[in-house]
Structure 1
Amino acid sequence: MHTDIESNIPIENNNDADEITWVKEITDGKQPKAPLYVGIAAGLGALFWLGPFMGLNSVLNPAKLSHIIGSGSAVNNFLALLGTLGAITSTITTIIIGALSDLTRSRWGRRTPWMLAGSVLTAAVIFFLGRINDSSHLTMFIVLWCLLQTFINFIVAPLIAAIADKTAPKHRGVISSIYAAGFILGEYGGPVVGGYFLSASNPSLIDMGYNVMAIFMLISGPIAAVILREKSSLCMPKQKKLDWEFFVKYFIFPIKGSRDFYLALFGKMMICITITAFSVYQLFFLTSGMSLNETVSGKYISLMGIATIITAFIFSPISGPIADKLKTRKKPVVLSAILIAIGTILPYFYAEPTSMIWYGIISGIGSGIFFSVDQALNLEVLPNNENAAKDLGILNLANTGAQILGPVLGAVLFEMFGHHYLSILPSLAAISLFGGILVMMIKSVK
């Protein structure tokens, strides 16, 4: 089988197995069984890229920079700057890389070449980040972090697009649940692993943590590519004219019929801001907010992460299939926003280290529901399936926007509320609830 480039209609061909049948969208009728291997590939890929990223962003970077710069406003401001510049870089590159992935024609498919290159390049950057231990090299730290944000999108955008490529709408809840299981393990497992490398008496242990994260990152793309077994994309339609229509289709934000697309984007962003800000400042909630030293804080971060992983991992696999059966996406996402808000505000009222574990339990349930159903919601508000990677890259602005606004907002709230970390939590909880309201405003999805 191959595709007639002019008509985009699959036609018969007796060439070798590298040739594929290309269709614009896989319908429910053409896929009676869920492609579980797609979920497994996406889940493992997410685990091994997100785990290292969150281990660095939430634990190792703040700890390393605290040793280099010192605690308090100085490190907060640098973290905010780092998050802002890195996320701006990611915002730009995720759309470009998503579009280039959609346009890629190779014997290894559209997504595989990008995922493999991204794994190698991102792992190399993490290794060199771990070598910086002097304040004179902070500019290089920022440059490397921006490169990491670029190269990691070589993995992220194509990996998520592979779900849209290979999954019919009726199976997207199930596949998204499998993907979410890996995503959740990475989201909360990364800080757990990172927490084991925190030591007040041995700062060099942090550098070892960067090496471990680099190894995990290195296997992300290859393991996903091997399981996906993406076929050749050489016989897919090729873009012949580089005109304005081409530019609008592949590199411009969607305009027509995209109201729900943007509600999903900003609803997700609000919820992710709450999750990200809590994650970035969790070390300081324990040290400055609850007067624990760094070593003990690292242990509580690990316990909190384990609690989150267990509850999220329980609710993630069941939430997507339940949403499929009930034919709903919005209600589970709104419920998750409420649970994340409750977990977030709890340490404000009960300023004891055990409240962080309760945060892990409650927000873990919310996160399990959110990450499994939200991805299915995102796939159903795409304006055009042909350039799914580009539009999913735009939806990924919810994550990169949270990376920008989470640390920045935390720093602003920290200054507003008298330099007390726990006082920022009610505002973060309110942001999560606002995200749920935006999701409820979506009309095209139940």
Structure 2
Amino acid sequence: MSTTLPAGGATAPSPATLTRGGHARLVTALVLGAVLWIGPYVASITVLLPARLDQIAPDSKVQVVATLSIVGSVVALLANILFGALSDLTRSRLGKRTPWMVLGSVTTCLLLLLLSRAESVTALVVTWCVCQLFLNAIVAPLVAVIPDRVPERQRGTYSAVYGVGMMVGMAGANVVASRFVTDPATGFRLMGFAILLAGPVLALLAPDRSNAGEPRPAFSRAVLLDNFSFPRRGARDFYLAMSGKLLFVLAMFSITGYQLYIFTDHLGMDADGAGGMIATMALVQLVLSLVCGAVAGPVSDRLGRRKVLVVGATVLMAVGLLVPFVWPVPAAMIVFAAISLGVASGVFNSVDQALNYDVLPNPEAAAKDLGILNMANTGGQILGPVLMGAVVGVTGGYGAGFPVAAVVALVGAVLILRIRSAR
């Protein structure tokens, strides 16, 4: 494998040249790839890390979760740019995406196994941040597979496929992780073996075509800036989409990042009862997000519109967030899961990715720019607990976090509504 400067254009055949079996393999690979990276990540950040911190640092667990989030967000930002750019620049017989996804899978697996043995707060924080670094070696190249291989008229459907995988992974992660609330070390090991498969699945089911013979433009300062920096020209809508995505995910994870503590410390449940409720939420989320996600992507392609569906999902997220605020009982969290984590997230994750493809300022740097956009997704998941941690620090409880998160989601809807280059 070598990394050289991009010649532009996709290296894989377009769907127009694929057989029906080729389409089926790509769909299967995208679903499994999404499940196998997002599942271990969500299980770790929402259940396993908080559970482990409850064991080794119960008096400072809220502050440590916030610290993990802040430091991890910086690492994720740098990693998305780095591995996205390296993917765009790579020339190899395996194509430009596969080598980095395989590297990320193997390394992240090893780090999760190491995390299962961490006995101190320092060890948890350092290992998790390095884990965040290599996790994005999977994610940044993976999200570029769709614009590499799928024409614009079908991207809503393929984005729905990827979104369904994301929803299955997120919901399934909480179902599985909820069984390890009292034994997070075993949970980390299980998640490590799962993520080991994420990159190889795509390589085996839907391999990229060799791009080893592509021309190699001469190195220059302009090429370096284009491939290792934030977009600078024609990127207004790109940044609006990124900001809207960040706020949507931040609003959601400000609650899910502390869901264990919300059930135990805010709603008065014991750890076993909280684990059962988290599993129930995850099942509700899974069913509704699958149905809504599978429908929303093809509807978006048929209508030729992305923005209205994404804005509607963001507003619905805010509505669901208000339910546990006005009705502070455990059952309200199930309603929140149905509205916000099921319907709203299902539609958003299916259509927002297609909207992201529509606002890319430079298709030749697709993985790098999509990596930056995905930083909004990862950053929102990381910064959400920071928001709730700040609310808890100011108010002394979790209740006020729900309306604060709803306002954040509504601001995201306004930003997405201002996008001009996509309908």
TM-score range with shorter-chain normalisation?
over 0.9
1:18 maps to none
Q: Please tell me whether the aligned partners of residues 24 and 386 of structure 1 are also in contact (alpha carbons under 8 angstroms).
A: no
CA gap of 1:342–1:295, structure 2 versus 1, over 3 A, is: same
CA gap of 1:236–1:193, structure 2 versus 1, over 3 A, is: same
CA distance in 2, matches of 1:26, 1:350: 52
CA distance in 1, matches of 2:57, 2:343: 36
Q: Equivalent residue of 1:422, what SS?
A: coil
1:68 maps to 56
Which residue of 87, 97, 120 corresponds with 1:101? 87
2:372 maps to 394
1:410 correspondence with 2:414: no
Question: Once the two structures are superposed, what CA deviation does each residue of 1:60-101 show, in whole Å capped at 9, x if it has no partner?
Answer: 100110111115xx1111111111111211101110110001
Q: Please tell me whether the aligned partners of residues 318 and 410 of structure 2 are also in contact (alpha carbons under 8 angstroms).
A: yes
Shift of 1:400: 3.0
CA distance in 2, matches of 1:157, 1:211: 24
Q: Equivalent residue of 2:233, what SS?
A: coil
1:213 correspondence with 2:191: yes
Which residue of 176, 190, 208 corresponds with 1:193? 176
1:138 correspondence with 2:121: yes
Matches within 5 A, 1:338-349: 338-349=315-326
Q: Please tell me whether the aligned partners of residues 289 and 422 of structure 1 are also in contact (alpha carbons under 8 angstroms).
A: yes
CA distance in 2, matches of 1:303, 1:292: 14
1:237 maps to 215
CA gap of 1:6–1:310, structure 2 versus 1, over 3 A, is: closer
Shift of 1:191: 1.6
Q: Equivalent residue of 2:196, what SS?
A: helix
Q: What code does the residue aligned with 2:190 have? A: V
Matches within 5 A, 1:49-198: 49-71=37-59, 74-133=60-119, 137-198=120-181
Q: Equivalent residue of 2:227, what SS?
A: helix
Give 5+ residue unaligned stretches, structure 2: none
Shift of 1:28: 9.5
CA distance in 2, matches of 1:228, 1:32: 12
Shift of 1:27: 8.4
Q: Please tell me whether the aligned partners of residues 35 and 167 of structure 1 are also in contact (alpha carbons under 8 angstroms).
A: no
Which residue of 343, 348, 352 corresponds with 1:374? 352
Shift of 1:24: 8.4
1:38 correspondence with 2:16: no
2:331 maps to 354
Determine which structure has more spread, i.e. the larger CA radius of gyration. Answer: 1
Q: What code does the residue aligned with 1:299 have? A: G
Q: What code does the residue aligned with 1:382 have? A: L
CA distance in 1, matches of 2:221, 2:407: 42
Q: Equivalent residue of 1:421, what SS?
A: coil
CA distance in 1, matches of 2:24, 2:308: 25
2:304 maps to 327
1:17 maps to none
Bigger mean CA offset, 229-238 vs 371-380: 229-238
CA distance in 1, matches of 2:90, 2:346: 33
1:308 maps to 285
Q: Equivalent residue of 1:70, what SS?
A: coil
Bigger mean CA offset, 422-431 vs 403-412: 403-412
Shift of 1:247: 1.2
Q: Equivalent residue of 2:144, what SS?
A: helix
1:19 maps to none
2:404 maps to 427
1:384 correspondence with 2:372: no
